[in-house]
Structure 1
């Protein structure tokens, strides 16, 4: 369902829930003649389940048909379209397809556009942590934001900034006290990480540039990948590839993306992690640069996800670039910018 523009829900009791009915743009009831329904059941139960004809017919008359007449058939009243003859009715199928295309064009896939307009006037949420703005941090931002900087320098200063960001992010993980004996045989009271399983998950492709900084800071960290890219026809994020540890639900996850503008891709990635049973409070989103709209969208949807960045910019333009921003980070880093 990730990135889907059309979601088809199927089930014999699908019209029984009013909340579901209200969410549906089109409701279709596939009607099949009762003789065909009985013939299908006889064929299935006798050939596949080894039952005798008398038992099948008795069950059909005593339970199946009465339940259909009581629960299923009355739900036809909710249908926008009733299709007789099921999948053989090619005319009805073509009409449904045309209607779906019309609905898509009408809706216009404007999810990201809505996100950037909702929360702009509110203060930053408490789940947002920004790297302290030292002179060094400001200097690196000056370099990577400069449109005339060379690609080598852009990569060099980006990597420096990533390392500082990851080190800052690690400070929000749980630590515990631990005493160690120094070389002169004196006890030193220090701290060590109080979590054994940490996994970095990069949102490809720009998030992959942050993996090395994470590996430099955490020796035994595991790495997962999620490929989410914007569909050029709709400007909406879509999921193309997914590789996560099988036991990722037991990990603290550092989710990495170079920039967060509308927040749509990050929200999709967080949803994927939640569907893999990662607790929301165990997810930390790290990004070099975020926009106010993306921060608020993520905080509203996932209030227990900690967000960490080096700076938050105020605006996003109609192409979903952060302003003043750094342009398309992935293109600048990998040298794939178009100058047409």
Structure 2
């Protein structure tokens, strides 16, 4: 089962809260809270999709999906944004974006349709219930629009859509879509399309850099491989869930309910695989501790808090048991 960065979910939930919606009850049903989500972790793609579908049923503003695109910043795309910005032309950037679309926050799929004067960036959305479909399509179209606009503002080029097509019937709020995108919007199409002038696609990007481009391509290739990491065993699913948290960790009963199991079934199935919940919790903490010690300058006391320890002494003792050395010695190495 594929996984991806949890940043997309965090951006969306933060955006919903800023717009006056309350996503916390839905997160709670999935055993999560926004305050505990760790931005450095990954989430199963199918689980994230279920959360989106549940959230769509609770939102009150019909334009909330459209507005969510504004909460996705360039920095959240990591090496992908640098890969796009080091392309030679806008056309190459679109082609690269399609190739590495797995590193975006999309659930639909992108392709490019060339034409004589206008060409189209096409988004084929994932099938969902009608309410969730519009919510998700609006978010993906506006998020893609925001990415392109942010890039061109950064680079000082102009690549705007001549028209945008949306794959659902014309809503009462249609005029708001044209005001948001700054171009005509046609509804009732089978797919979402950004229609672009061919001459705009030939614009050369001022940040083109073949050497840097090769470096960022390698980084993006590694990320694509990481997304396909198998999480088929129950122990892997439990570790993935525990990896989402920071500050405090859920109990075995909380994890079981989040995975649709009873605590007894969870413990029995883990035992059959040769694991215990206690050992998996320790493993999740150890993995996060290593990451924080290697890649941050946080003091040991702060790392202990992120791992759910009330006192740093308890963390130090546990880390010595895991690694055979103190956190300070590990960081020094």
TM-score band (shorter)? under 0.3
Higher strand share: 1
Higher helix share: 2
TM norm structure 2:
0.24
Instruction: Report 1 or 2 for greater relative contact order, CA contacts < 8 Å, sequence distance ≥ 6.
Output: 2
Larger radius of gyration: 1
TM norm structure 1:
0.24
